[in-house]
A and B are shown apart, each in its own frame.
Chain A
């Protein structure tokens, strides 16, 4: 039996590039205008970008104390060798994210409320790094080590992840704009990638000791099944003082979270009370398979023949529901994952 423990701190990387790109779009480097033809502001072909000075605005701002996020990972695993080339591995993994990116719309106010500060700048997003995340995961893995051409891995993961920000560098965490800029803790909810149960099966078999044309074919397949990813109910309205949409949530009045009737427009004067990521998306499933063989042409040349199949069972899987509460399709699937596809590869390696 082998017990391993490990801890490490890892920083987000490549965070400045998207920020620099955004800043390059702000005045004085560049002017952003929203123009409309009107008697006061006539637009001509000669000058289509005429705008009164007051309408010049910035769309993005950044906290001068912005800092790079990092994650602390700690792991404990127990590995036990079993007969028949089997290995059983139990793993606990904890991840704490710090200084995650939070973005909000300053000086905005809910519909029906009074403008708290009409002279204050608004209409731009503001990026800070005060978010955090926490994830705990337990994983059980049964692995048949490769021998006689056969290997398989069965993995089950039980995990929960909570955050109040967009985590991850390289801009991979995406953008999360808070609903209420004065109450960022209200964004604390399940992470976008939170998947409670996830099972993964990987099988790979290469034919050995077979007659000529049957030998050395490799069959591999990967099956993934898991519970749905969380989704946020959205109330489609423009945030006051900005042109931004999508960050406003409805009021939840109880009942099935997947029924449009469980939500109403947010009460005047305050933000919607439905939680971020409060809907669990549809269950996920994928089945990919491939079969291939490498023909060895002497020592230097390899000729690969391979057929890969994505969604081999052609089973329809919906990645998410429609969560815009005013939509007639609310609670119904938005799209499906791609249908079955086969890809044949013939490759000469040398």
Chain B
């Protein structure tokens, strides 16, 4: 995918309004899910806010509400099954969508993350783990369950599917995972059970194991952190072929992982993907013979057995210390998932407004107890991280804010942003899709008022086809806020444009911009269709139509991202560029009468021999009445390639027309072929 970016100050006028009223609230609602069970493990019902005591960092808190969340037990409704499961051509990486404080997205639901540690599972174990997960989703998943799929592979934790109750979606993901990839972290023993390699000096596998185990545990910690931003109780079903600590060296990381899980309210439910093992005393034929005297003294057999036990011990410890349970020595791995599912029974939601209003981003330790000597076991997230104000964000926080904003289903409108997507056919399959984003310059005035000399606008764009991300963009633009530029900014919007090369299809574009000084974010979501013009037989195949009120010299661009090579590609690829001048899409389609209007489109005559002339004209209608019409333009020379691309350009003044709303129609005729095409869009004329 090619990406081309340029930022241009455009000359159209956007009303600046900065007399907005700000409501500020300094209270933070904290919601915690608390599971209350009696000594027999059955949930206790009927508690009210008088029964709970909440302490935050040792300070008692006033409880605002307590709500009982009843999850059905026993036989329940199976989850939805939308369609038959088909593997995806490619899995999109996604993220766990965060929730804003006080907002419980997954009420009355059980959250289960299936986490596959692919690095530590040999292929047969991977197959077993995936089959078990599929079986669970097919047969045991209920309508109360929300399941996410995560995987540790290639050195990082990937979220393959955020929490969902769509079983087909989950099955698609699980079927797409390829067994046999990504292993390589399996511990190679360096004791009496180690295979004899015959080498005089080998690598010290012990050191490698140390780092590998640390990395596996650290990955698990990363996963809990992702989940920790949801206040509900979460279970993480951890598939691995054992995890062996090396002496005492991995204990620090184990503690860190367990602490992170307890803090985040995540319980681990490890499943030993090896199932019930009964292997030959010194290992099977997948590894070499240990060879030495240890084979005869029993030392090798002992070391081999002890390694297996220790690898299970770590799984056991992860579970025992976080309130989960490990499934060891059992072939039906699905049982482990079902146990995890059943463990989350009904729970209470306890909400309070914290007495500590500071947005310092620090961890606040929580202690929730019951009054009135009610004997019960309480299970809850042991604390939460207070919010942060943007100015206190470090780079990781900033990056996360962008990711979170991109994940949110609802748009964010702190920053006004508008967007226009066009398409032009490049060849028989590919289309060039220029995206123009417009932000009123007045939006940056706030940053200026805070005394910033310059600001950076972060742009994140993502184009998805269905579930899969097909292209994305990450860019930042540095804008000077002082001097001449600043005066310009107050009156004019900023246009940022980028280009992608896509195939025909239906896409969703999500674009996000953030002003780095104030931290304000604007998002824009838009679904667009790129038609397959090769199949257009009825009408004249045309590109989308670009309406513009401005042409700028490429060199005049305030900012051009990328290197000179990219600039060249802009000129080569973008049909909007002609003779060093670039047509700036209007985006808002509001035109000033004082300026000319530019209309640009392309018509295609794929394979036409010889080239036939194309006639086109632009008409403006005002309330169904023709207000203006350009003279027909006949173009008979197209590009020399197979597409025979015919560019159609119009430029006409608007000063003769009164202000108001119009409908702009472009008509393209192919007189010889007997075909015609129309394109319409509303436009607005202002003084």
Q: Indicate if the CB atoms of B281 and A6 lie closer than 8 Å.
A: yes
Is the CB of A189 closer than 8 A to any CB of chain B?
no
Q: Indicate if the CB atoms of A168 and B292 lie closer than 8 Å.
A: yes
Report the Cα distance A8→B255, complex, angstroms: 38
Known: A85-B320, A149-B255. A168 touches B248 (CB 8 A): no
Contacts of B214 in A (CB 8 A): 302
> Shortest beta-carbon distance, A30 to chain B, in Å?
23
Known: A8-B283, A93-B301. A151 touches B313 (CB 8 A): yes
Contacts of A74 in B (CB 8 A): 281
Q: Indicate if the CB atoms of B248 and A14 lie closer than 8 Å.
A: no
Is the CB of B251 closer than 8 A to any CB of chain A?
yes
Contacts of B249 in A (CB 8 A): 294, 304
Q: Indicate if the CB atoms of B292 and A137 lie closer than 8 Å.
A: no
Mark contacts of A271-315 with chain B using CB atoms, 8 A cut-off: 1 yes-contact digit, 0 otherwise.
000000000000000000010111110010010101000000000
Query: Which residues in window 296-310 of B have CB below 8 A to A?
Result: 296-298, 300-302, 305, 309
Is the CB of B276 closer than 8 A to any CB of chain A?
yes
Q: Indicate if the CB atoms of A135 and B251 lie closer than 8 Å.
A: no
Query: Which residues in window 258-317 of B have CB below 8 A to A?
Result: 276-284, 288-298, 300-302, 305, 309, 312-314, 316-317
Q: Indicate if the CB atoms of B295 and A73 lie closer than 8 Å.
A: yes
Contacts of B305 in A (CB 8 A): 75, 77, 91
Contacts of B247 in A (CB 8 A): 220
Choose among B196, B301, B313 the residue that contacts A169 (Cβ–Cβ < 8 A).
B196
> Shortest beta-carbon distance, B333 to chain A, in Å?
16
Most interface-central of B249, B284, B293, B296 (chain A CB within 10 A)? B296
Is the CB of A24 closer than 8 A to any CB of chain B?
no
Chain B interface category by residue count: 35 or more
> Shortest beta-carbon distance, A85 to chain B, in Å?
7
Contacts of B284 in A (CB 8 A): 8
Taking CB as reference atom, which chain A residue is nearest B279? A6
Q: Indicate if the CB atoms of A97 and B296 lie closer than 8 Å.
A: yes
Is the CB of A270 closer than 8 A to any CB of chain B?
no
Contacts of B291 in A (CB 8 A): 10-14, 168-170
Contacts of B218 in A (CB 8 A): 299
> Shortest beta-carbon distance, A151 to chain B, in Å?
6
Is the CB of A179 closer than 8 A to any CB of chain B?
no
Is the CB of A5 closer than 8 A to any CB of chain B?
yes
Q: Indicate if the CB atoms of B290 and A10 lie closer than 8 Å.
A: yes
Is the CB of A23 closer than 8 A to any CB of chain B?
no
Q: Indicate if the CB atoms of B317 and A147 lie closer than 8 Å.
A: yes
Q: Indicate if the CB atoms of B317 and A146 lie closer than 8 Å.
A: yes
Report the Cα distance A349→B206, complex, angstroms: 14
Is the CB of A7 closer than 8 A to any CB of chain B?
yes
> Shortest beta-carbon distance, A129 to chain B, in Å?
14
Taking CB as reference atom, which chain B residue is nearest A166? B293
> Shortest beta-carbon distance, A54 to chain B, in Å?
39
Mark contacts of A140-176 with chain B using CB atoms, 8 A cut-off: 1 yes-contact digit, 0 otherwise.
0001011111010000010101010001111011000
Is the CB of A4 closer than 8 A to any CB of chain B?
yes
Report the Cα distance A157→B297, complex, angstroms: 12
Is the CB of A128 closer than 8 A to any CB of chain B?
no
Is the CB of A102 closer than 8 A to any CB of chain B?
no
Q: Indicate if the CB atoms of A170 and B292 lie closer than 8 Å.
A: yes
Q: Indicate if the CB atoms of B293 and A145 lie closer than 8 Å.
A: no
Report the Cα distance A139→B218, complex, angstroms: 36
Is the CB of B252 closer than 8 A to any CB of chain A?
yes
Is the CB of A180 closer than 8 A to any CB of chain B?
no
Report the Cα distance A6→B282, complex, angstroms: 9
Choose among B211, B296, B313 the residue that contacts A145 (Cβ–Cβ < 8 A).
B313
Contacts of B293 in A (CB 8 A): 167-170, 172-173, 193
Most interface-central of A8, A89, A169, A299 (chain B CB within 10 A)? A8
Q: Indicate if the CB atoms of B282 and A10 lie closer than 8 Å.
A: yes
Report the Cα distance A114→B67, complex, angstroms: 103
Report the Cα distance A12→B251, complex, angstroms: 36
Contacts of B313 in A (CB 8 A): 143, 145-146, 151
Known: A151-B313, A206-B251. A5 touches B297 (CB 8 A): no
Q: Indicate if the CB atoms of B198 and A14 lie closer than 8 Å.
A: yes
Q: Indicate if the CB atoms of B251 and A161 lie closer than 8 Å.
A: no
Choose among A135, A167, A173, A294 the residue that contacts B252 (Cβ–Cβ < 8 A).
A294
Choose among B248, B281, B292, B314 the residue that contacts A93 (Cβ–Cβ < 8 A).
B281
Q: Indicate if the CB atoms of A7 and B297 lie closer than 8 Å.
A: no
Is the CB of B162 closer than 8 A to any CB of chain A?
no
Is the CB of B534 closer than 8 A to any CB of chain A?
no
Q: Indicate if the CB atoms of A294 and B301 lie closer than 8 Å.
A: no
Contacts of A294 in B (CB 8 A): 249, 251-253
> Shortest beta-carbon distance, B300 to chain A, in Å?
8
Taking CB as reference atom, which chain A residue is nearest B250? A294
Report the Cα distance A220→B247, complex, angstroms: 9
Report the Cα distance A173→B247, complex, angstroms: 28
| Number of inter-chain CB pairs below 8 Å | 155
Q: Indicate if the CB atoms of A75 and B316 lie closer than 8 Å.
A: no
Q: Indicate if the CB atoms of B248 and A218 lie closer than 8 Å.
A: yes
Q: Indicate if the CB atoms of A220 and B298 lie closer than 8 Å.
A: no
Known: A93-B281, A302-B252. A147 touches B298 (CB 8 A): no
Q: Indicate if the CB atoms of A137 and B283 lie closer than 8 Å.
A: no
Report the Cα distance A74→B314, complex, angstroms: 27
Is the CB of B462 closer than 8 A to any CB of chain A?
no
Known: A95-B295, A218-B251. A145 touches B301 (CB 8 A): no
Taking CB as reference atom, which chain A residue is nearest B207? A349
Known: A2-B329, A10-B282, A168-B292. A73 touches B297 (CB 8 A): no
Choose among B276, B280, B316, B321 the residue that contacts A2 (Cβ–Cβ < 8 A).
B276
Taking CB as reference atom, which chain B residue is nearest A74? B281
Report the Cα distance A147→B211, complex, angstroms: 22
Is the CB of A204 closer than 8 A to any CB of chain B?
yes
Is the CB of A208 closer than 8 A to any CB of chain B?
yes
Is the CB of B256 closer than 8 A to any CB of chain A?
yes
Report the Cα distance A339→B370, complex, angstroms: 56
> Shortest beta-carbon distance, B482 to chain A, in Å?
37
Contacts of B289 in A (CB 8 A): 10-13
Mark contacts of A1-37 with chain B using CB atoms, 8 A cut-off: 1 yes-contact digit, 0 otherwise.
0101111101111100000000000000000000000
Q: Indicate if the CB atoms of B316 and A296 lie closer than 8 Å.
A: no
Q: Indicate if the CB atoms of B278 and A296 lie closer than 8 Å.
A: no
Report the Cα distance A8→B281, complex, angstroms: 7
Contacts of B251 in A (CB 8 A): 149, 206, 216, 218, 294
Taking CB as reference atom, which chain A residue is nearest B284? A8
Report the Cα distance A143→B305, complex, angstroms: 13
Report the Cα distance A148→B258, complex, angstroms: 10
Query: Which residues in window 216-240 of A have CB below 8 A to B?
Result: 216, 218, 220
Contacts of B248 in A (CB 8 A): 204, 206, 218, 220, 290, 292, 306
> Shortest beta-carbon distance, B330 to chain A, in Å?
9
Known: A8-B281, A13-B289. A137 touches B298 (CB 8 A): yes
Contacts of A58 in B (CB 8 A): none
> Shortest beta-carbon distance, B504 to chain A, in Å?
44
Q: Indicate if the CB atoms of B295 and A216 lie closer than 8 Å.
A: no
Query: Which residues in window 105-151 of A have CB below 8 A to B?
Result: 133, 135, 137, 139, 143, 145-149, 151
Is the CB of A191 closer than 8 A to any CB of chain B?
yes
Contacts of B295 in A (CB 8 A): 10, 12, 71, 73, 95, 97, 168-169
> Shortest beta-carbon distance, B451 to chain A, in Å?
33
Q: Indicate if the CB atoms of A71 and B278 lie closer than 8 Å.
A: no
Report the Cα distance A13→B289, complex, angstroms: 7
Q: Which B positions have Cβ atoms within 8 angstroms of A?
A: 196, 198, 210-211, 214, 218, 245, 247-249, 251-253, 255-256, 276-284, 288-298, 300-302, 305, 309, 312-314, 316-317, 320-321, 329
Q: Which 3 A-B pairs have the closest CB atoms?
A: A13-B291, A8-B280, A168-B293
Starting from the known contacts A10-B295, A14-B198, 5 additional A-B residue pairs (CB-CB under 8 Å) come to A8-B284, A146-B245, A169-B295, A218-B248, A294-B252
CB pairs A–B below 8 angstroms (23 shown): A13-B290, A14-B196, A89-B309, A95-B298, A95-B301, A97-B296, A135-B297, A139-B302, A145-B317, A146-B245, A146-B316, A149-B251, A151-B317, A159-B298, A168-B293, A173-B293, A191-B296, A193-B297, A206-B251, A218-B248, A220-B248, A294-B252, A299-B218
